[in-house]
Amino acid sequence: MKLISLAILFAGSLSAQGVTQKLLTEPAPDSWPGYHGDYSGRRHTALTQITPENVGNLALSWVFQTNQTTVFKCTPLLVDGVLYVTVTDNVWAVDARSGHMIWHYAYPPNKGFHIGSRGVSMYGNWLYFMTPDAHLVSLNASDGKVRWNIPVADSAKGYWTTMSPMVIRDHIIVGVSGDFDNLTGFLRSVDPETGKTQWKWDSTPPVGTPNATSGGMTWMTGTYDPALNLIYWGTGNPTPVLTGKTRPGNDPYTCSIVALNPDTGKLVWSFQPSPHDTHDWDAVEIPVLVDADFHGKPRKMLMQTSRNGYFFVLDRVTGENLLTAPFGPVNWAKGLDSKGQPIPNPEKEPARDGRLIAPDEGGLTNYRSPSFDPKTGLFIVDAHPSYGIYFAKPEDGEFGWAGADYGVWGKAVLEAIDYQTGKLRWTHELGPNGSGAGVLTTESGVLFTGDNAGNVIAMSTADGKTLWHAGQGSGMQSSPIAYELDGREYVVTSAGGLLFAWALPQSH
């Protein structure tokens, strides 16, 4: 274990109380205490210093570089003037005003799957970091020293972890990944002080259960409604992935949105965006929580742009479907059932001679975070209109992938969806193939994202017009955040192993 510490120089900035439940529920302008900013997943900030009129004056304030070849896929946490950022096996504490490193923690070499890290979580003055070999590590936020290290799942079986855990009171809620093998997905709640398991919810039955599926991985950080005391989580695809003959029926609770009690792990309701999935379209995309009128009636809603190409609006109290609409080319479903769930067309399942499917295996969107702007009522997502060819390969057996897919065509488009109708209000082309950037909107009417040419872009939230852009050298694979320190608003973006902080000149 390698630990480089400069904490003495920054001891003043690290002496505050850290993260409280109040801060997680109502983040202050000088903080970004959770993966989504707040519990809702809206990725919308109340900051207004940067406006459509002055955003053209944005300038680079500082750059932090990891000196690693691994790219940033994390959302930085900001607490007490310190940013905490990650790539696989590494955590850094960075001064949020200057970009100077405070300390660096390196997890020991391991055989886990190094696909990426979404970031750390924090409670009190302790950080919680998930590793490629499916461990949860608790670090002291002041100096990066390890408090404890526990296994969440058995990496030797094929599990790995990438997510930023969710913190709710005395629960650290973690999920798992691993769909190369036939494994059971689950959520686990652990004690923040000891790491001991409090409850575990399995998304699929034990492996080998007759006529049942495995899978249902819980890749990404969910969202939480404190008033209802419910967490909302998306689950992954069933396994074997591209063949469904061993798992008849809809394969609950794979490719589903589930509502659980965070104190007990008990399931309250579920909704399945992709019943009997055979295209690797998990439903782990962010379940965004919005309180607003829907067709003239006040509703507590959950919205998701799913990887399978459909936009869903649900009543998050009951799980009732309010709206299902495609947000790009979709050709794999015959229609919708009485619950608003798509009905798979058996003729679009992978076949020996191939099937042309929209969207492709990467999906019409993926892990990148969308944003909801309450002023315009727009759900804004980095979309990937695309086509792919899916093949069935019986010689692959009934384990893991069990088939093949090949991308044919795709592009990146930022889409603004009217949640009342599911219709696109505006679109903005981001380039061929795809873009990995998430979206941030601000109360002043500016949104930030990235294109596939390595630019960070500011647009008008209302109509998608470009207001400003700057080259970062490579594409963004994370989601922007914003914060205000000493009366100055910063927007933080990434490219490769670089973190960029943008702000208006001091004179503004």
Q: What is the pLDDT of residue 394?
A: 84
Q: What is the pLDDT of residue 401?
A: 87
* Contact yes or no for 36/42 (Cβ under 8 A): yes
Q: What is the pLDDT of residue 329?
A: 98
Rounded CA-CA distance 310/344 in Å is: 13
Rounded CA-CA distance 71/76 in Å is: 13
Question: CA dist 197 to 124, 167, 232, Å?
Answer: 19, 14, 20
Q: What is the pLDDT of residue 11?
A: 39
Q: What is the pLDDT of residue 9?
A: 42
Output helix, strand, coil percentages for the chain, rounded to the nearest 5: 5, 45, 50
Element (H, E) at 21: helix 21-25
Q: What is the pLDDT along the chain (508 residues), one digit of tens a residue?
A: 444 444 434 434 444 579 999 999 999 999 999 999 999 999 999 999 999 999 999 999 999 999 999 999 999 999 999 999 999 999 999 999 999 999 999 999 999 999 999 999 999 999 999 999 999 999 999 999 999 999 999 999 999 999 999 999 999 999 999 988 899 999 999 999 999 999 999 999 999 898 889 999 999 999 999 999 999 999 999 999 999 988 999 999 999 999 999 999 999 999 999 999 999 999 999 999 999 999 999 999 999 999 999 999 999 999 999 999 999 999 999 999 999 999 999 999 999 999 999 999 999 999 999 999 999 999 999 999 999 999 998 887 888 889 999 999 999 999 999 999 999 999 999 999 988 899 999 999 999 999 999 999 999 999 999 999 999 999 999 999 999 999 999 999 999 999 999 999 987 5
Rounded CA-CA distance 413/415 in Å is: 6
Burial of 359 (0-12, 13-18, 19+ CB in 10 A): buried
Q: Which long-range contacts (CB under 8 A, 24 or more apart) does 427-432 make?
A: 427/464, 428/459, 428/464, 428/466, 430/382
Rg from Cα positions in the chain: 22
Question: CA dist 150 to 84, 125, 136, 154, Å?
Answer: 21, 19, 5, 11
What is the pTM for the complete model shown? Answer: 0.96
